Chain A
Amino acid sequence: SSELTQDPAVSVALGQTVRITCQGDSLRSYYASWYQQKPGQAPVLVIYGKNNRPSGIPDRFSGSSSGNTASLTITGAQAEDEADYYCNSRDSSGSWVFGGGTKLTVL
């Protein structure tokens, strides 16, 4: 199986840009997807594929990838972006795996 590693916590000043990263060997072969989860709620897909946003996701969310690292960037973070963010990808066995999650605080 594969592991995806995320920083446990990241903070950003209101209106500034923040990057949340996800590292793992499987990311050399598969794109990551990113999920936002607010307390007491189900996760929501915010980025998938190379850099795609589902309908309704603000364009301040973007994704990128290089080597074994995938990144979620929020350009101009808003108070409502404060949440947990999880990356997700396939592993070598064909299963899916989630990163440990990053708690984003907007100051």
Chain B
Amino acid sequence: QVQVVQSGAEVKKPGASVKISCKASGYTFTSYYMHLVRQAPGQGLEWMGIISPSDGSTSYTQKFQGRVTMTRDTSTNTVYMELNSLTSEDTAVYYCGRSWSDYVGYWGQGTLVTVSS
């Protein structure tokens, strides 16, 4: 069955960077895009970006342009998300989600990133 398993929780200081991983299984990795969505505590879902595992092309929402980088490793079926220059406002649960047609069909379990001095 389709699974997206994310790396564990992270605690970072302001100004640092964080890199989380999303390991896919149960399907052909290069055939489906992977979305990145975050959710701050008590807040709604926020779409951040998307990557094509096939060719590595990416698209990010303007808010995160220049600060977020999504990459992939086809040898391990893993997508990575790196977010730089962290502030307390980046404290959130970050989700990877495999596309299904034009939708996010399968979600990872989420990775809590806490930014605190």
Binary per-residue interface labels of chain A (8-31) against chain B in the complex, 1 for a CB within 8 Å, 0 otherwise? 000000000000000000000011
Instruction: Tally chain B residues at the interface, Cβ within 8 Å.
Output: 21
Closest to B109 in A: A42
- 9-residue interface stretch from B16-24, B79-87, B100-108: B100-108
> Which of chain B's residues 17-58 have a Cβ closer than 8 Å to chain A?
35, 37, 44-47, 50
* Main SS at interface, chain B: strand
Binary per-residue interface labels of chain A (60-95) against chain B in the complex, 1 for a CB within 8 Å, 0 otherwise? 000000000000000000000000101010100111
CB of B59 closer than 8 Å to a CB of A: yes
Using A33-B103, A45-B100, A90-B102 as known contacts, say yes or no to A95 and B59 having CB atoms under 8 A apart.
yes
Expressed in whole angstroms, the Cα–Cα distance for A76 and B110 within the complex equals 31
Asked if A101 and B44 make an inter-chain contact with CB atoms under 8 angstroms apart, the answer reads yes
A35 to B: closest C-beta gap in Å: 7
Which residues of B are found within 8 Å of A43, using beta-carbon distances? Answer: 45, 95, 104, 107
CB of B88 closer than 8 Å to a CB of A: no
Instruction: Tally chain A residues at the interface, Cβ within 8 Å.
Output: 26
Residues of B in contact with A (beta carbons under 8 Å apart): 35, 37, 44-47, 50, 59, 61-62, 95, 100-105, 107-110
Can you name 12 A-B pairs with beta carbons within 8 Å? A33-B104, A35-B45, A42-B95, A42-B109, A45-B100, A45-B103, A48-B102, A86-B44, A96-B104, A99-B44, A100-B44, A101-B45
Which 6 A-B pairs have CB atoms at the shortest separation, nearest pair first?
A42-B107, A101-B44, A98-B45, A96-B47, A33-B103, A48-B103
